[in-house]
Chain A
Amino acid sequence: MYTILICDDEPDIRSALRIYLTGEGMDVLEAGTGAEALELIAEHTVHLVLMDVMMPGMDGMTATARLREQSNVPVIMITAKSEDGDKILGLTVGADDYITKPFNPLEVMARVRAQLRRYARLGGMTEKSGTLALGGVQMDDDAKRVTLHGEEVALTPTEYDILRLLLENPGKVFSSREIYSRVWKDVPVAAESTVPVHIRHLREKLEIDPANPRLLKVVWGKGYKLEEEKR
C-alpha cells in the first residue's frame, strides 16, 4: 500500500487524480499549496509526490527544492508549460519525472507506477555479471531477458540486439545505417529503412509516452541513443 501526495491548487484536478489513484489501490493525501505539501510530508509517510508547478504562495519548484533537503521521495512535476527550459529546471531542482498539462490520466498512472517500482527497489538492486542496466532497464544477456523496473518486457530478437547495442554504448548516437551494419552484420543498401521501424517498436515497449521518449531518444537527422534523462 503506497501513499501518494497530490499537490495542486485546482481541487477538480486533485479529485480526478485521487479517483484514478485510489482505483489503483493507493492512499491519497491532498495539498493545495507547496507549504501544505511540506507539512503533510513531515507528518505522514509519503511514497510519491505529484507536484503542480504553478501554485499561489510557494510554487512547485520551491516546494520540491525544500522537500529534497530532507527526503528523496520520488517527485513527478505537473506543469502547464511545455518549454524545455521548464522541464530542465524541474529536473534540476530535484524532480524525478514530469508530465505536461493537459495530461492523459493513463500516462500519469504509468509514470506513478514506474517511479514507485523504482523507489521500492532502490538499493535492493543487484547487478549480476553479463547484466546491462540503465534507467530502469535491465538486460540479462545470459538469459536473454529484459526487464523494465522489474517487469519483464517481451522483445523480438532484432529488437533485443538493437537494445543491447544501445545499452552497451549509453549516450552514443547510432545512425540507422550503423545499427543495421552492427546488428544485421550486413552492408546497408536499402534495408536500413527498417531500422527506424524496429526502434519505434522498441520505444513503444520501453516508453510510457513513445512520442516523448525519456530513455530511447531520437536524435533527428542523426540517429538514436539510449540515455537516462539527467537530473
Chain B
Amino acid sequence: MKKMLESRGVRVLAFLLCLVFAVGTAGCAFCFLYNYYEPDQTEGGQRGFLRNGLAWSYANEDMWSTLELYVRTLDDEGGPYLGTPSEGISFVILDPDGEVVADTRTEKACAVGSDGVYWSVEGYTARAFLELPARRGSPLDACVRLYDFLYNGRELFLPVGAALGLLALLLFVFLMAAAGRTPEGIRLTGLHRWPWEIFAGCLVFLAVGLAWVVAENSYGSQIRHIPMYAALYGTCGLGIGAAALLFCMDLAARCKVAGWWRNTVTFFCLKWLWRLVKWCWRLVRGFFRGLSRLVLALPLAWKGVLLYGGFTFLNVLLTLGADSMRGEAWSFLLVVLDLAGLAGVIWVTLQLKKLQAAGRALAAGDLAYNADTKHMLPALREHAENLGAASRGMTRAVDERMKSERFKTELITNVSHDLKTPLTSIVNYVDLLKKEEIDNPSAREYIEVLDRQSQRLKKLTTDLVDASKASSGALTVAPEDLDLSELLRQAAGEYAERFSLAGLECVLSTPPGNWVVRADGRLTWRVLDNLLTNTVKYALPGTRVYLDLLRREEKTVIAVKNVSREALNIPAEELMERFVRGDASRSTDGSGLGLSIARSLMELMGGTLQLTLDGDLFKAEMVF
C-alpha cells in the first residue's frame, strides 16, 4: 500500500481514472436528470420520441425564425418567403382566418406531442412537424437515437452513476492520501513547490478559461449538434475536473508538510512587510536612543543649559502665543508650564537636600546611613549611590580593622599569659640567687642586672595586655560621676613620696567649684598613674610638677606639666605610639607603652589625651 501511495505511475493512473469516473458520473447524472420521461412515457422508438420533450425542443427551434420571416415578407415581391427550415422539420402556416396559407409537409410528417407545436405572430400561426423516419446520419436521426439510448438505459444511469461516483470518490481519497508522498518521505516536489497562490491561480485561470469557452459556445441550436457539444462539454469538464483535482491534491500535499503557509506569496509579502516594519522601528528607535545617549553623555552643566534653554524657548513661544488669537488658552498653558518648572526646581532641591543629609551623615561617621534613591534624577542617584558605596567600603574597612585588632588582642593576651609562668620562675630564682652568699662581686653585679631586667620584663608583659585591650576596646568602661579634684588630690597623695624621692615638688591646683565628670574612675586613675610615672621617671630633679584642673571650651581638663630632664628629640604625637620612647629614655626601665595605653583609655572613655612639647616643658592634658 505504501508503495502504491508513493508510486508515480499508480498516481497518474488513479488521477486519470478518477477524472474519467468523475466526468462519467457527471454524464450519468446529466442523463438521469435530463427530463425525457413524461409521466406516461412507456415506450421507446419513434412514437416515444415524438411524445418526448426532446422532439418538442427539436421541432420548436426553427419555428419562430421561419414564421417571422414569413410574416415580414407577406407584402414582399415574390413573397412571402418560407426560408429553409432544418432538415426533418416541416411547417403548416395558417392565416388569421384559419386558412392554410403554406404547407411543406410530406406524407412522413408526424405531429409532435399530443397537441403539436405552435407559434403565433400577428395572427399567423405556424405548426411544426417532424419528418420521420429521418435520414440516417441526420441530426434528427441522432436525436432519435439519443432518445432511444436514454430510454433503453433509463434503469442503468442511477446505479452506474452511483458506482462511478463511488469509484471516483475512492480514487479521490486515495489521491489525497498519496499527495505529497515520495519514497524520501513527505515532500513537496515539482509544481507543488511553487507558491500556493501562483499554483492555485494558474489552475483557476485554466478552469475559468475552459468555463469561458463553454459559455462562449453554448448558443444556437444545441440540440441539432449534440455530438459536438457532448465532446466540447466533456473535454472542458475533464479540464476543469483535472484542475480541481490538482488543486485538491496540491492543497492536501501542502497541508501535510509542516509550515505549509510559509510557501505562499502572502507569507512572503507579510514577511517582507514585517521585516520592513522592524527595520523602520529599529531605525526610529536607534535614532531616539542615539539622541538620548547624546543628551545623557552631555556634562551635567550642558544638560542643565539644554533643559533651561528648552524651558525658556517654550516660555517665549507661549508668551508670543498669548498675544495672538485664543490668548486665554496660551496663557493658561504658560501658567501650567511655569508651575511645572517651579515643581521641577523644588523637586531637584529636595533631592539635593537628601544628598546633603547623606553626605553630612557620612562625614559624621554614620556609616549605616543610606539615602533613599528611589525617585532621584540619574545624575543625583549616581552621586547618592557613590556616597552609599563609600560608606559601605568604610564600614567594611572598619569591621576588618576591628576584627584584626580583636584577634591581635587575643593573641597578645594568650601569649603574655604563657609568658607569665616562666617569668614567675625567673623572678623567683633571681630573688633566691640574690639571697645566696656570693663572694664574686661580678656575679653579684650580674644578678642585679638579671633582677632589673626581669622586673622590666614583668612590667612589659602586663602593659602589653593592657595596651592591646585598651586599643581594641576589649575593656569594659563603667562611667560614673567622678570628682576630678578629689582624684587629683588622691593622685598627688599617692605620688607624694615618689616625687620627693625624685627631687620633684608637686604643685596641685584644684580651683573650687564643681569638677564632676562622667568617667570610669579606675581607668582615669590608670591614665593619670601612667602620666605621673613618666613624670617621676623623666622630669628634671629639682623642678616642679604642676597638676592643674581647668576648664576649656566646655571641657574639663587635667594638665600635667613638668620639665624634661633630657631634650626630647621626637614630636609629641609620636610619643603616644606604641613602643616609642625618647632616645634618652631607652636605657631606663619602662615598656614604652604607658602613653599609648593612656591615650587609648582616654579615647575609650570618649575623651582625648594631648601632649605638647615646648622646649623642655612637657605638658600632658587629659580632656574630658
Question: Looking at the complex, which one of B423, B432, B482 makes contact with A220 (CB distance below 8 Å)?
Answer: B482
Most buried by A among B461, B487, B497, B525: B487
| Complex: A222 Cα to B481 Cα, angstroms | 8
Question: Looking at the complex, which one of B421, B489, B494, B497 makes contact with A10 (CB distance below 8 Å)?
Answer: B421
Query: Does A103 lie within 8 Å of B493, measured CB to CB?
Result: no
Chain B neighbourhood of A101, CB < 8 A: 420-421, 423-424
Chain B neighbourhood of A219, CB < 8 A: 521
Question: Looking at the complex, which one of A10, A16, A177, A197 makes contact with B432 (CB distance below 8 Å)?
Answer: A16
Least CB distance from A30 to B in Å reads 15
Task: State whether the Cβ of B428 lies closer than 8 Å to any Cβ in chain A.
Answer: yes
Query: Does B497 lie within 8 Å of A12, measured CB to CB?
Result: no
Task: State whether the Cβ of B508 lies closer than 8 Å to any Cβ in chain A.
Answer: yes
Known: A81-B417, A220-B482. A104 touches B490 (CB 8 A): no
| Complex: A199 Cα to B491 Cα, angstroms | 11
| Complex: A69 Cα to B467 Cα, angstroms | 40
Least CB distance from A69 to B in Å reads 28
Query: Does B524 lie within 8 Å of A221, measured CB to CB?
Result: yes
Chain B neighbourhood of A223, CB < 8 A: 486
Most buried by A among B425, B493, B494, B519: B493
| Complex: A10 Cα to B423 Cα, angstroms | 12
| Complex: A31 Cα to B621 Cα, angstroms | 51
Question: Looking at the complex, which one of B429, B458, B461 makes contact with A16 (CB distance below 8 Å)?
Answer: B429
Chain A neighbourhood of B429, CB < 8 A: 12, 16
Query: Does B486 lie within 8 Å of A19, measured CB to CB?
Result: no
Q: Which partner residue on chain A sits nearest B510 by CB separation?
A: A193
Task: State whether the Cβ of A102 lies closer than 8 Å to any Cβ in chain B.
Answer: yes
Most buried by A among B429, B490, B519: B490
Task: State whether the Cβ of A196 lies closer than 8 Å to any Cβ in chain B.
Answer: yes
Known: A104-B427, A196-B490. A175 touches B465 (CB 8 A): no
Least CB distance from A13 to B in Å reads 5
Interface size of A as a range: 35 or more
- CB-contacts of B306-329 with A (<8 A): none
Chain B neighbourhood of A67, CB < 8 A: none
Task: State whether the Cβ of B266 lies closer than 8 Å to any Cβ in chain A.
Answer: no
Chain A neighbourhood of B458, CB < 8 A: 102
Task: State whether the Cβ of A82 lies closer than 8 Å to any Cβ in chain B.
Answer: yes
Question: Looking at the complex, which one of A80, A102, A176 makes contact with B489 (CB distance below 8 Å)?
Answer: A176
Query: Does A105 lie within 8 Å of B423, measured CB to CB?
Result: no
Q: Which partner residue on chain B sits nearest A104 by CB separation?
A: B427
How does the 8 Å CB contact mask read for A145-189 relative to B, with 1 for contact and 0 for none? 000000000000000000000000000000111000000000000
How does the 8 Å CB contact mask read for A16-29 relative to B, with 1 for contact and 0 for none? 11011000000000
Question: Looking at the complex, which one of B420, B482, B493, B525 makes contact with A193 (CB distance below 8 Å)?
Answer: B493
Q: Which secondary structure dominates where chain A touches chain B?
A: helix
Task: State whether the Cβ of B462 lies closer than 8 Å to any Cβ in chain A.
Answer: yes
Query: Does B424 lie within 8 Å of A193, measured CB to CB?
Result: no
Task: State whether the Cβ of B522 lies closer than 8 Å to any Cβ in chain A.
Answer: yes
Query: Does B493 lie within 8 Å of A195, measured CB to CB?
Result: yes
- CB-contacts of B470-494 with A (<8 A): 480, 482-484, 486-487, 489-494
Question: Looking at the complex, which one of A10, A82, A199, A222 makes contact with B521 (CB distance below 8 Å)?
Answer: A222
Query: Does B424 lie within 8 Å of A103, measured CB to CB?
Result: yes
Chain B neighbourhood of A105, CB < 8 A: 427-428, 431-432
Query: Does B465 lie within 8 Å of A82, measured CB to CB?
Result: yes
Query: Does A197 lie within 8 Å of B427, measured CB to CB?
Result: no
Chain B neighbourhood of A199, CB < 8 A: 493
Most buried by A among B465, B496, B497, B525: B496
Query: Does B493 lie within 8 Å of A197, measured CB to CB?
Result: yes
Known: A16-B432, A222-B486. A200 touches B496 (CB 8 A): yes
Q: How many residues of B contact A (CB 8 A)?
A: 36
Question: Looking at the complex, which one of B425, B490, B494, B496 makes contact with A12 (CB distance below 8 Å)?
Answer: B425
Query: Does B492 lie within 8 Å of A193, measured CB to CB?
Result: yes
Known: A16-B429, A80-B421. A222 touches B482 (CB 8 A): yes
Known: A220-B487, A221-B521. A13 touches B421 (CB 8 A): yes
| Complex: A17 Cα to B429 Cα, angstroms | 10
Task: State whether the Cβ of A112 lies closer than 8 Å to any Cβ in chain B.
Answer: no
Least CB distance from B592 to A in Å reads 19
Least CB distance from B425 to A in Å reads 4
- CB-contacts of B410-440 with A (<8 A): 417, 420-421, 423-429, 431-432
Least CB distance from B214 to A in Å reads 120
Q: Which partner residue on chain B sits nearest A23 by CB separation?
A: B435
Chain B neighbourhood of A102, CB < 8 A: 420, 423-424, 426-427, 458, 461
Chain B neighbourhood of A196, CB < 8 A: 489-494, 496
| Complex: A158 Cα to B432 Cα, angstroms | 39
Known: A82-B465, A102-B458, A200-B497. A221 touches B424 (CB 8 A): no
Task: State whether the Cβ of A6 lies closer than 8 Å to any Cβ in chain B.
Answer: no
| Complex: A161 Cα to B132 Cα, angstroms | 180
Q: Which partner residue on chain A sits nearest B482 by CB separation?
A: A221
Chain B neighbourhood of A106, CB < 8 A: 431
Task: State whether the Cβ of A218 lies closer than 8 Å to any Cβ in chain B.
Answer: yes
| Complex: A19 Cα to B432 Cα, angstroms | 8
- CB-contacts of A175-231 with B (<8 A): 175-177, 192-200, 218-223
Q: Which partner residue on chain A sits nearest B458 by CB separation?
A: A102
| Complex: A193 Cα to B486 Cα, angstroms | 9
Most buried by A among B424, B429, B432: B424
Chain A neighbourhood of B519, CB < 8 A: 221
Query: Does B424 lie within 8 Å of A175, measured CB to CB?
Result: no
Least CB distance from A198 to B in Å reads 8
Query: Does B493 lie within 8 Å of A222, measured CB to CB?
Result: no
Q: Which partner residue on chain B sits nearest A10 by CB separation?
A: B421
| Complex: A222 Cα to B480 Cα, angstroms | 10
Question: Looking at the complex, which one of A13, A175, A194, A221 makes contact with B425 (CB distance below 8 Å)?
Answer: A13
Query: Does B489 lie within 8 Å of A195, measured CB to CB?
Result: yes
- Please give 19 more A-B residue pairs, beta carbons under 8 A apart, in addition to A80-B417, A106-B431, A176-B490: A10-B421, A10-B424, A12-B429, A16-B425, A80-B421, A101-B423, A104-B427, A176-B489, A177-B486, A193-B493, A193-B508, A194-B493, A196-B489, A196-B490, A220-B525, A221-B487, A221-B490, A222-B483, A223-B486
- Top 3 nearest A-B pairs by Cβ distance? A196-B493, A221-B482, A220-B521
Give 20 A-B contacts (CB < 8 Å), ordered by A residue. A16-B425, A16-B428, A16-B432, A19-B432, A54-B417, A101-B421, A101-B423, A103-B424, A103-B427, A106-B431, A195-B493, A196-B491, A196-B493, A199-B493, A200-B494, A200-B496, A219-B521, A220-B487, A221-B483, A221-B525
